[in-house]
Amino acid sequence: MRKPIIAGNWKMNNTIKEAKDLIENLKPLVVDSNVDIVICPSYLSIEAAVELTSGSPIKVGAQNMHYEESGAYTGEVSGEMLKELGIEYIIIGHSERRQYFNETDETVNKKVIKALKLNLNPIVCVGETIEERENNKAKEVVTTQVKNALAGLSQEEISNLIIAYEPIWAIGTGKTASSDDANEVCGWIREVVKELSDQSIAEKIRIQYGGSVKPDNIKELMGQTHIDGALVGGASLKADQFAALVNY
Ligand code: PGA
């Protein structure tokens, strides 16, 4: 039985003060939860988030990292720096990073390898555009993204991953993939993982759906056989909404 994991990707939202308020409001609402709960604030709020969530079921992740330890990479933050702050999860390859910041399958792979070396839990994001879906390319695109992201990983490393299927056309648009479509793609992803490792690992790893997940669609999504959690943007910014997802 895979333990569900609900992760909030706050994106470029919340000042440190706003982040602290959100966490304080969220904490009492999720004490009885049976799922893994992760919040991914901006880098600036991570230290406060780790401190405020200590002793609670809420874990903290980051939204990105560089794959090098240090060096002349102006504006970047390394995994080592984040690890020192006490994060446990790291989102890698979010479509907004691919779209606006030149993230490629190759950099995603380097970051995944680095995160695993640091004992961070990568949440690897994949997903197709609307054009790709309409041209029946979704399976090909997602399969390639997963294979490239996982290239060179050992079976044990693969078993520690979380993969988030996020169709780009569903992110922040209010359009959710139907639960059947989302489940179908998550099933393909599990097949690819099986090809790259084995059946038991494919059955063990958790696959999230992301894209306009809301309190009113979480239950149906989570009822699908291959969907083990959600990566949530907009609805993770309000304590009551995120708590409703966590307590679905
Ligand atoms: P959304 O974002 O929930 O606002 O659609 C999801 C994501 O980008 O992870």
> Helix H segments across 150-217?
155-159, 179-196, 199-204
Structural domain that includes position 174: 5-246
pTM for the model: 0.97
Contact predicate 127/86, CB 8 Å? no
Q: Is residue 84 exposed (0-12), middle (13-18) or buried (19+ Cβ within 10 Å)?
A: exposed
Annotated active-site residue 68? The verdict is no
Q: What is the mean pLDDT of the chain?
A: 97
**Distance of CA 219 from the midpoint of ligand 1 (Å):** 17
CA of 230 to the centre of ligand 1 (A): 9
Beta-sheet pairing, 58-62 with 5-9 = unpaired
Task: Give residue 174's pLDDT.
Answer: 84
pLDDT on residue 176? 83
Average pLDDT over residues 68-80: 98
Q: What is the pLDDT of residues 26-50, one digit of tens each?
A: 999 999 999 999 999 999 999 999 9
Query: Looking at residue 12, what is its pLDDT?
Result: 98
CA-based end-to-end distance of the chain: 17
Which ranges in 54-162 belong to alpha helices (H)? 79-85, 95-100, 105-117, 130-134, 138-149, 155-159
pLDDT at 172: 86
Catalytic site residue from 96, 132, 157, 166:
166
CA distance 214 to 47: 28
- CATH value at residue 80: 3.20.20.70
Displacement of CA 6 from its chain's centroid (Å):
9
CB-based pocket (< 6 A), ligand 1 = 9, 166, 171-172, 210-213, 231-235
Q: Which tops the pLDDT comparison, 1 or 91?
A: 91
| pLDDT tens column, 160-194 | 999 999 999 999 888 888 999 999 999 999 999 99
Ligand 1 centroid to 27 CA: how many Å?
21
pLDDT of residue 175: 83
Asked if pLDDT for residue 240 goes beyond 90, the answer is yes
d(C-alpha 242, C-alpha 119), whole Å: 26
**What is d(CA 104, CA 101) in angstroms, rounded to the nearest whole number?**
9
The pLDDT of residue 238 is above 90: yes
Q: What per-residue confidence (pLDDT) applies to 234? A: 97
Average pLDDT over residues 96-113: 97
Atom of ligand 1 nearest to the CA of 91: 9
Looking at the structure of the chain, the number of domains it has is 1
Kindly give the distance from the C-alpha atom of residue 72 to the centroid of ligand 1, in angstroms, as a whole number: 31
How confident is the model over 120-154, as pLDDT tens digits? 999 999 999 999 999 999 999 999 999 999 999 99
Task: Point out the ligand 1 atom lying closest to the alpha carbon of residue 235.
Answer: 3
User: Which pLDDT score is estimated for 173?
Assistant: 87
Tokens 């041209």 belong to 135
Answer yes or no: is pLDDT of 1 > 90: no
Distance between CA atoms of residues 183 and 87, nearest Å? 29
Is residue 131 among the annotated active site residues?
Answer: no
